[in-house]
Amino acid sequence: MHNNIIKKISVFFMSVFLIFALVGCGNTVNTTSSNKPKPKPKPKITAQYIVDTLKAKEGNYMTDIVVTTADNDENKLLGRPHQYTEKINWKDSRAKDSHTDCTVEIFKNSEDAITRKNYVDNIEKNMAPLVQYLDQKKNVLLRIDGRLTPQQSKEYTDIFDKLMQSSTTS
């Protein structure tokens, strides 16, 4: 009888040990913040990223897209102090007989972009054929051909504004 009690006690403790071992190996609910979906990182703004985003919506009208390099920069400003570090030009097919391109220019900082916007704005005051719609956010200047209607220009600037709200710059 003494052996029977010892066997029962041993079985009891082994059962308890086995239950704890199985519970310990079971699935646990992790309540740390790592289970929460991480927000997508904001995309970095580049001239190419902006043009690609505009093309996704306005691509039917965007033609003759040219990435500015040191060799083809008519203004010879690319990379110079306080000037644009990236620039892409395109034409909008709705602006008939226009000699003005649409442009996105990226600057090292917002102060340089503001200075450029003011400079272009002052030139346009004296040269009506070169009028453009200008939209500057952070370190980016968007220039839209003035031959487009205000509503057509707004199509670009609405996309640009939304893009700049959801992105980071340099």
* Three-state secondary structure readout of 52-91: HHHHHHHCCCEEEEEECCCCCCCCCCCCCCCCEEEEEEEE
For the whole model, what pTM was predicted?
0.74
Q: Identify the H or E element spanning 106.
A: strand 102-107
Q: What is the mean pLDDT of residues 40-60?
A: 91
Q: What is the mean pLDDT of residues 140-151?
A: 96
- Confidence band, pLDDT 50/70/90 cuts, at residue 4: low
pLDDT tens digit sequence for 28-47: 555 555 677 777 777 789 99
pLDDT tens digit sequence for 16-33: 555 555 555 555 555 555
